[in-house]
Structure 1
Amino acid sequence: MGRVTLITGGDGYLGRRIAAKLLEETDSRLLLWLRAADASAFLSKQDVLAESFGRFEGRVEYCYGDLTGESPFDGIEPASICRIVHAAAVTRFNVDEGTARRVNIEGTEKLLRFAERCGALERLGLLSSIYASGMRAGPIPETPFVNAGFANHYESSKWAAETLLFEKYAHLPWRIFRIATAIADDANGQVSQHNAVHNTLKLLYYGLISTLPGKPGTPVYLVTGDFAADAVCRLMRVSGSERIFHVAHRREQSLSLDELITLVFEVFGTDEFFRKRRIPRPLYVDEEAFELLHSALGAFAGGVVNQAVDSVAPFARQLFITKEVQNANLIAALGRDPAPDASAVVEATCRHLVRTKWGREKDRVS
């Protein structure tokens, strides 16, 4: 296949978008690594992607494996790989410790060991998260982080994967992309995959949570999937290695928690179903009060309210921390400051979620 870019997690939310942009905007040849337990599962996923990328036939090939397996990349010829984008990961805030370790940490090391065998490797991009910063407050620079404690196992696993790269595989031509939380696919507010943010908005819309952990002034860092994928593709073409990029917007370009909630309820208020129910805005509670509530509800496993609080709990502690995310490396590499209209994106996203009832109905807006 010649010189190839390997994308792990090629069927994932960002992996698929990165692949699409590389195919559309470059002449790159791609090898998409898909997570699959067996050939049947692999072929099913491959068929879906082949339909999407049909017009690029000849430039895309597929392979599969499982990061929890012994040798997930054994079927790949290392001599052909010139670039790697490691997008495969478990990204749920509520991931359990064992899964986070096996997939995000040990799985990353398996990828890095494979990368060492790629003699023609020019660039290795590791997708990470701004929440690899953990409980750190204040300036969040584009530099390695020290362990500041973490709100959940997802955060700690992303920090550990980065640290593994710095300490054992720094000789590789690496670059790290710390990405903020994706709220929508694009600026039009389309949502094809729901995460903790969308689930929390759903709870607010249906009046299932009356309290919200956090400080009103805490900045909330959000991006679109298109922005993140475009940035990664462009940054993979930038010369130089050993660089960290925050694929995120700065505090002054982002909404605070209270600004976000205010805007969300303004949009929800235009919906007749929501208005009829007269659902009030949630009250902010401190960390101790939320933990007490979470613990008390633990006795009612399976209850709707308990499930609602459980869905918020994994990232609740971050809503009390004021982070000042810096992105000077991103701006310098892109040659521009990709400042978004954060309010417009959130508004469009909320309208899409309400129209589609969080994906249960077809969107009536083309």
Structure 2
Amino acid sequence: MTTVFLTGFPGFLGSALVERLLERHDAETTVTCLIQSKYREEAETRVDEIAADAEGDDEAVADRVRLVEGDITEGDLGLGDAYDELQADSLEVYHLAAIYDLTMDREPGKQVNIEGTRHVLDFAEGADVDRLHYVSTVVVSGLYEGRFTEEMLLEGQKFGNYYESTKHGAEVLVQERMDEIPTTIYRPGAAVGDSETGETQKYDGPYAFVETLLDQGDYAVVPAPRGAGDAEFNVVPRDYVVDAIGYLSGIDESEGKVYHLADPDPPSTVELIKTLGEAAGKKHTFVPPYPKGIVRGLLESLDPEHELVKSGGFEFQTWGASFDCSNALEDLEGSGIECPRFEEYAENLVEFYREHPEIDDAAMT
């Protein structure tokens, strides 16, 4: 039986993408999800939810999702004797698994994001797949200043944290093997909750602004580094990213391309904060500037492990890069899939945050 092999389940994007893959392929094609043993219960629950939401026989849908335990940091993906058979059955590979944590240390990031990707590439090449779909990120741009196109990657840029540098290193590996493996690369912006429901799996990135706003009264103060009024803060809702990957991965034209799944008209950091303030019901949100260099230096001297220091958060709020989305806009034209403006769904993000305080910023590792 043929199968689509996917890593990154039951993660934020992977869980939603499985639903799209089941819909696209015929009933004889399964989706095999490589999972870590510690997420077995969560993965099984997610499969049940997917089956319940799907049209038709719940049991038949659930039977089309196979869960296999493994580990991408191992050369055989932790599959042992099952490796060869699964490789022979796989017609496509979707690689989403990564440590998404801006404060992570170098070594785990290297093992999962870089070496893990190398092992998935080996699997895909040996399987002679029709296509490898690799989910990268726009932060492969690092601290690049200016317009970053979908054709750019090795631009001598520096990086603000190990997440950026290891994801960049991983995409370098993928692009080096695109002559041997038919590949499509997707670079999402910072993914936030669903634009319709606000649903998310973790609170990070702009959710720090939401927390600060909700802790204050009608008049809120959220400081930002100088330059934040001119810097783009590029976020995208999960449903746009998943819908776009679901569509683009199913067309022949996407082979060999890189797609920026980013907001083509993003707000500045200051605009984003003020929009969240309105969504939170604030009468007015003040965003006073502060000197980034002085504050960063002070924090580094007091606490080198401070989240803003380790994550590169100062740089992210004054990001000098903007993202050209020409490939994505051209190939999504006519599909009905487009990135909504941030102000159209900000209220849904805030409302979900209010209703679900139990969610935290922990990454799935």
| TM-score band, normalised by shorter chain | 0.7 to 0.9
Q: How does 1:45-194 map to 2 (within 5 A)?
A: 45-54=42-51, 55=58, 56-72=61-77, 73-74=79-80, 75-76=82-83, 77-119=86-128, 121-146=129-154, 147-168=156-177, 170-194=179-203
CA distance in 2, matches of 1:189, 1:50: 21
AA of the residue aligned to 2:170: A
Q: What is the CA deviation profile of residues 189-248 of structure 1, one whole-angstrom value per residue up to 9, with x for unaligned ones?
A: 233322232134213432699632352121111111111111111111111522101111
How far 1:267 moved relative to its partner? Answer: 2.9
Contact 2:269 2:318 (8 Å CA) reproduced: no
CA distance in 1, matches of 2:40, 2:109: 26
Given the superposition, is the C-alpha separation of residues 239 and 168 from structure 1 closer, same or farther in structure 2, using an over 3 Å criterion? closer
Contact 2:72 2:112 (8 Å CA) reproduced: yes
TM-score by length of 2: 0.84
**Residue 197 (structure 1) aligns with:** 206
Root-mean-square deviation (CA, aligned residues, Å) is: 2.6
SS of 2:252's partner is coil
Q: What is the CA deviation profile of residues 283-339 of structure 1, one whole-angstrom value per residue up to 9, with x for unaligned ones?
A: 22233123123224418x8xxxx66x558x533213223323111111222224714
**Residue 315 (structure 1) aligns with:** 313
AA of the residue aligned to 1:325: F
CA distance in 2, matches of 1:144, 1:242: 14
SS of 2:46's partner is helix
SS of 1:321's partner is coil
TM-score by length of 1: 0.84
State which drifts further: 170-179 or 213-222: 213-222
**Residue 22 (structure 2) aligns with:** 23
Contact 1:85 1:126 (8 Å CA) reproduced: yes
CA distance in 2, matches of 1:242, 1:195: 31
**Residue 344 (structure 1) aligns with:** 344
AA of the residue aligned to 1:12: G
SS of 1:220's partner is coil
AA of the residue aligned to 1:292: G
Given the superposition, is the C-alpha separation of residues 280 and 139 from structure 1 closer, same or farther in structure 2, using an over 3 Å criterion? closer
Does residue 292 in structure 1 map to residue 306 in structure 2? no
CA distance in 2, matches of 1:155, 1:209: 29
> Which consecutive unaligned segments of at least 5 residues does structure 1 have?
361-366
Contact 1:11 1:49 (8 Å CA) reproduced: yes
Given the superposition, is the C-alpha separation of residues 42 and 188 from structure 1 closer, same or farther in structure 2, using an over 3 Å criterion? closer
CA distance in 2, matches of 1:6, 1:222: 28
Given the superposition, is the C-alpha separation of residues 209 and 115 from structure 1 closer, same or farther in structure 2, using an over 3 Å criterion? farther
**Residue 259 (structure 1) aligns with:** 271
Q: Percent identity between the aligned chains?
A: 22
SS of 2:212's partner is helix
> Which consecutive unaligned segments of at least 5 residues does structure 2 have?
52-57, 361-365
CA distance in 2, matches of 1:144, 1:173: 19
How far 1:167 moved relative to its partner? Answer: 2.4
Does residue 34 in structure 1 map to residue 43 in structure 2? no
AA of the residue aligned to 1:248: A
Given the superposition, is the C-alpha separation of residues 51 and 116 from structure 1 closer, same or farther in structure 2, using an over 3 Å criterion? same
CA distance in 1, matches of 2:144, 2:358: 32
CA distance in 2, matches of 1:158, 1:324: 18
Equivalenced residue count is 338
Contact 2:143 2:320 (8 Å CA) reproduced: no
**Residue 6 (structure 1) aligns with:** 5
Given the superposition, is the C-alpha separation of residues 280 and 232 from structure 1 closer, same or farther in structure 2, using an over 3 Å criterion? closer
State which drifts further: 58-67 or 43-52: 43-52
